[in-house]
């Protein structure tokens, strides 16, 4: 295998960045679309599950048939797609209003900080351990060169992800401050307090995989948590997974923890004064953060690019018959499928559980989640000490 | 092209260093306190970049985690909550500027004394390691989290724990002060 020169490796890194951006910009609009549809089904909202582009094409023919049979066609997966188109068009075309007494520079900076902090996290996330694919030899300039599964699988990948994700707080706080208005300021302060306090149990719940896998490298952790675990290590992982998911919901400001934009109390929280694509960046950042949280959860708890969750894959691998060996190998498609499932869980929870009160959120975070995370960490340390 | 990229790569440290200085200047020169905090944040992120350019990944990421993610957020919080009027802000800053110049001059003299050898002296033939036997079996360039942890938890365990006790004392002291004020 040829080793790439410096310029070639930079070009490859650029291609990887491009792939991540394409991944994000495919997943996010589809999540928004899915959110409308799933919520429509869960809460029996009619529009987002019914509206369609017309009566053309195959699905139009199917729909007409179903109407004729006296049934309401809700099965079509693409019903509601005009809503997505409308969403995107509105974001792009809406007038960009800046409040008269806003701090213009900070007002401009806040959404970009949110967006950049959300997307830079992907630098340390590797979708497959080792090589993702190799360029065919006929490819100009890059022929025969391998492309690794992550942009930069650094030694302290997990810390990088946690560190850069905390920078995202600035986006919300600065947006609240720079709007020069009461509701955004309250929303920004609230969300900063919430995110800073939920970072503690989030990090503590991620320490259990670190202790069990004895590494901070993303792909190494994913590998060891998926195929290198004894049976006993399942216990702290299940608790840790639920803990992590709860804190992840709070970190991404999603229901039932969406304090920064609690509509009935704060209008729209920190982005009340934002419109157009500036609001769009906050919106994008929220969904990218959801994707990142899902990616971490699926890597460390659900087995990452392997098929089975919680290290079951490693236990079952020796018993798999030969023709199933495709399922025993790591594939990026498994990883993406798990991310999509967790994104669905986000929407599912949003449609099911009502919002907490602010004091309840803080009480849950400090009084229950942190002690539970410490117990979970102790359990993981005991398993690491006595079993592994 | 190759040569150009290599030159940039070798001078990453200098680039981040200059950017950090720019951030520090912005922090001092900014009119509004929030802009100062933003300049500080920029400087901190660039110092993290300096560490990354030196292949000290753990230190770089810890810099982002602790300073950019924790301390500067608290600064921002305080500045936002204790919002001063423009006039009052100016008075406070002008009051402090005389002492600030003195403190900076003192600090520069002190640090020049410490770093004189590092800046003007001859480069050392081998990397400076406090206890080489602690790094045994470690590829320090790629496992610097492990290398740092060996230093902290094997060689310097007692000072490290004492430091954390000092932080605890500060925490308890803050709670005590805040409580007595309220009663």
Give how far Cα B35 sits from Cα of A107, A171, A278, Å. Answer: 12, 14, 20
E strands present in chain A: 126-134, 146-150
pLDDT at A10 (0 to 100): 85
B34·A103 Cβ contact <8 A = yes
DSSP state, residue A356: P
pLDDT at B127 (0 to 100): 61
Q: Report the C-alpha gap between A254 and A261 in whole angstroms.
A: 9
Q: Report the C-alpha gap between A174 and A187 in whole angstroms.
A: 11
Residue A293 lies in a domain: yes
pLDDT at B21 (0 to 100): 93
Confidence band for A373, pLDDT divided at 50, 70 and 90: very high
CA distance B86 to chain A (A): 14
How much is the average pLDDT of B157-168? 89
Mean pLDDT computed over every residue of chain A: 82
Q: Does B27 touch chain A (CB under 8 A)?
A: no
Q: Over 90: is that where the pLDDT of B169 sits?
A: yes
How much is the average pLDDT of A349-361? 85
Domain total in chain A:
1
Mean pLDDT computed over every residue of chain B: 80
Alpha-helix residue ranges (DSSP H) falling in B33-155: 33-53, 57-63, 72-81, 86-120, 144-150
Residue A160 lies in a domain: yes
Structure tokens at B25: 């200047």
DSSP state, residue B140: T
B80·A173 Cβ contact <8 A = yes
Q: Please give the CATH number for the structural domain made up of B1-83.
A: 1.20.120.1200
Residue span(s) of chain B under CATH 1.20.120.1200 come to: 1-83
pLDDT at B181 (0 to 100): 58
Instruction: Choose among A167, A170, A216: nearest Cβ to B145.
Output: A216
Residue A218 lies in a domain: yes
Name the interface residues of A facing B (CB cutoff 8 Å). Answer: 5-7, 10, 103, 105-106, 109, 154-156, 159-160, 162-164, 166-167, 169-170, 173-174, 177-178, 185, 189, 192, 196, 199, 216
A39, with CB counted inside 10 A (0-12, 13-18, 19+), is middle
More confident of the two residues A249 and A148? A249
How much is the average pLDDT of A188-206? 85
- Provide the percentage of residues in chain B whose pLDDT is more than 70: 79
Give how far Cα B102 sits from Cα of A248, B21, B26, Å. Answer: 47, 20, 20
Q: Over 80: is that where the pLDDT of A80 sits?
A: no
Residues in chain A, total: 388
* A103-112, B4-13, B144-153: range with lowest mean pLDDT: B144-153
Q: Over 80: is that where the pLDDT of A321 sits?
A: no
pLDDT at A126 (0 to 100): 86
Chain A residue with minimal CA distance to B44?
Answer: A167
pLDDT at A56 (0 to 100): 62
Query: Tokens 């850069």 sit at which residue?
Result: A164
Query: Tokens 């503690």 sit at which residue?
Result: A200
Q: Does B9 touch chain A (CB under 8 A)?
A: yes
A177·B80 Cβ contact <8 A = yes
pLDDT at A73 (0 to 100): 59
- Provide the percentage of residues in chain A whose pLDDT is more than 90: 9
Q: Report the C-alpha gap between A290 and A344 in whole angstroms.
A: 10
Mean pLDDT: which of A33-37, A64-68, A142-146, A186-190 is highest?
A33-37
B57·A155 Cβ contact <8 A = yes
Give how far Cα A343 sits from Cα of A28, A30, A116, A237, Å. Answer: 10, 10, 21, 20
Structural domain span for residue A330: 97-386
Q: Torsion angle, CA of A352/A357/A359/A363, rounded to 10 degrees?
A: -10
B69·A174 Cβ contact <8 A = no
A173·B145 Cβ contact <8 A = no
Kindly report, residue by residue over A5-48, the tens digit of the pLDDT.
788 888 888 888 998 899 988 888 888 888 888 888 888 777 66
Other CB atoms within a 10 A radius of the CB of residue A308 amount to 18
Kindly report, residue by residue over B116-161, the tens digit of the pLDDT.
777 777 766 666 566 666 666 677 666 777 777 877 887 788 888 8
Instruction: Choose among B9, B69, B142: nearest Cβ to A163.
Output: B69
- Provide the percentage of residues in chain B whose pLDDT is more than 90: 16
Q: Does B140 touch chain A (CB under 8 A)?
A: no
Q: Report the C-alpha gap between B149 and B152 in whole angstroms.
A: 5
Q: Report the C-alpha gap between A233 and A237 in whole angstroms.
A: 7
pLDDT at A277 (0 to 100): 84
Distance of CA A136 to the CA centre of its chain: 32
**Helical packing angle, A182-213 and B72-81, nearest 10°:** 160
Kindly report, residue by residue over B58-102, the tens digit of the pLDDT.
888 888 888 888 888 888 887 777 765 566 666 666 667 778 889
What does the buried/exposed string (b/e) look like for B145-157 if buried means 16 or more CB atoms within 10 Å of the residue's CB? bbbbebbeeeeee
Q: Over 80: is that where the pLDDT of A222 sits?
A: yes
More confident of the two residues B105 and A253? B105
pLDDT at A77 (0 to 100): 58
pLDDT at B43 (0 to 100): 93
Beta carbons within 8 Å of A165's beta carbon, 6+ residues apart = A117, A118, A121, A251, A289, A292
pLDDT at A67 (0 to 100): 73
DSSP state, residue A71: -
Structure tokens at B132: 């080489």
* A107-111, A152-156, B13-17: range with lowest mean pLDDT: A152-156
Query: Tokens 């048939």 sit at which residue?
Result: A65
Q: Over 70: is that where the pLDDT of B182 sits?
A: no
Whether a cis peptide bond, with omega within 30° of 0, leads into A256 is yes
ipTM metric: 0.79
Q: Which of A102, A112, A155 to mutate against chain B (most B CBs within 10 Å)?
A: A155
Q: Which of residues 102-131 of B touch A (CB under 8 A)?
A: none
Q: Over 90: is that where the pLDDT of A129 sits?
A: no
The answer to whether residues A129 and A298 touch, using CB atoms and an 8 Å cutoff, is: no
pLDDT at B19 (0 to 100): 94
Chain A residue with minimal CA distance to B77?
Answer: A189
Structure tokens at A154: 């650094």
Q: Over 90: is that where the pLDDT of A361 sits?
A: no
């Amino acid at each position: 295998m040829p080793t790439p020169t410096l310029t070639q490796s930079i070009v490859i890194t650029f291609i990887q960045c491009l792939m991540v951006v394409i991944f994000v910009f495919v997943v996010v609009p589809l999540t928004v679309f899915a959110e409308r549809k799933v919520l429509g089904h869960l809460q029996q909202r009619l529009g987002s599950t019914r509206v369609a582009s017309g009566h053309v094409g195959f699905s139009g023919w199917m729909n007409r048939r179903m109407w004729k049979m006296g049934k309401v066609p809700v099965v079509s997966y693409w019903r509601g797609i005009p809503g997505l188109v409308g969403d995107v068009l509105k974001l792009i075309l809406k007038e960009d209003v800046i409040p008269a007494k806003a701090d213009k520079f900070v007002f401009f900076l806040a959404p970009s900080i949110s967006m950049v902090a959300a997307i830079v996290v992907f630098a340390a996330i590797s979708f497959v351990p080792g090589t993702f694919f190799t360029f065919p030899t006929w490819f100009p300039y890059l022929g025969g060169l391998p492309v690794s599964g992550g942009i930069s699988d650094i030694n302290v990948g997990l810390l990088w992800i946690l560190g850069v994700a905390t920078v995202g707080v600035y986006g919300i706080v600065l947006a609240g401050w720079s709007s020069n208005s009461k509701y955004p300021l309250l929303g920004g302060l609230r969300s900063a307090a919430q995110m800073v306090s939920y970072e503690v149990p989030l990090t503590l719940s991620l320490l259990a995989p670190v202790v069990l896998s004895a590494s901070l490298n993303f792909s190494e952790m994913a590998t060891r948590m998926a195929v290198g675990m004894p049976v006993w290590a399942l216990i702290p992982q299940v608790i840790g997974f639920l803990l992590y998911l709860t804190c992840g919901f709070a970190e991404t400001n999603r229901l039932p923890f969406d304090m920064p934009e609690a509509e009935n109390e704060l209008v729209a929280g920190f982005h009340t004064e934002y419109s157009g694509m500036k609001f769009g960046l906050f919106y994008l950042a929220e969904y990218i953060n959801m994707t990142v949280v899902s990616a971490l959860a699926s890597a460390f708890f659900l087995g990452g690019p392997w098929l089975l969750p919680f290290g079951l894959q490693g236990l079952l691998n020796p018993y798999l018959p030969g023709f199933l060996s495709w399922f025993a190998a790591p594939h990026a498609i498994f990883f993406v499928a798990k991310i999509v499932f967790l994104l669905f869980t986000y929407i599912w929870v949003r449609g099911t559980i009502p919002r907490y009160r602010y004091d309840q959120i803080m009480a849950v975070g400090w009084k229950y989640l942190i002690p539970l995370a410490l117990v979970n960490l102790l359990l993981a340390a005991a398993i690491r000490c006595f079993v592994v | 092209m190759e040569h150009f990229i290599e030159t940039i790569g070798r001078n990453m440290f200098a680039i981040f260093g200059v950017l950090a200085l720019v951030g520090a200047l912005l922090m001092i020169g900014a009119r509004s306190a929030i802009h100062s905090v933003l300049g500080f944040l920029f400087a901190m992120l660039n110092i993290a970049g300096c560490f990354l350019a030196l292949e000290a990944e753990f230190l770089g990421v810890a810099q982002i985690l602790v300073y950019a993610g924790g301390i500067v957020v608290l600064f921002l919080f305080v500045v936002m909550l204790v919002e001063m009027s423009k006039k009052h802000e100016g008075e406070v800053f002008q009051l402090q500027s005389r002492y600030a110049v003195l403190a900076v001059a003192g600090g520069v003299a002190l640090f020049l004394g410490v770093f004189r050898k590092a800046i003007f002296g001859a480069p050392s033939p081998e990397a400076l390691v406090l206890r080489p036997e602690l790094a045994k079996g470690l590829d320090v360039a790629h496992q610097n989290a492990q290398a740092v942890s060996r230093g902290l938890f094997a060689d310097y365990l007692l000072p490290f724990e004492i430091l954390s006790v000092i932080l605890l004392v500060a925490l308890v002291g803050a709670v005590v002060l805040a409580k007595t004020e309220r009663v």
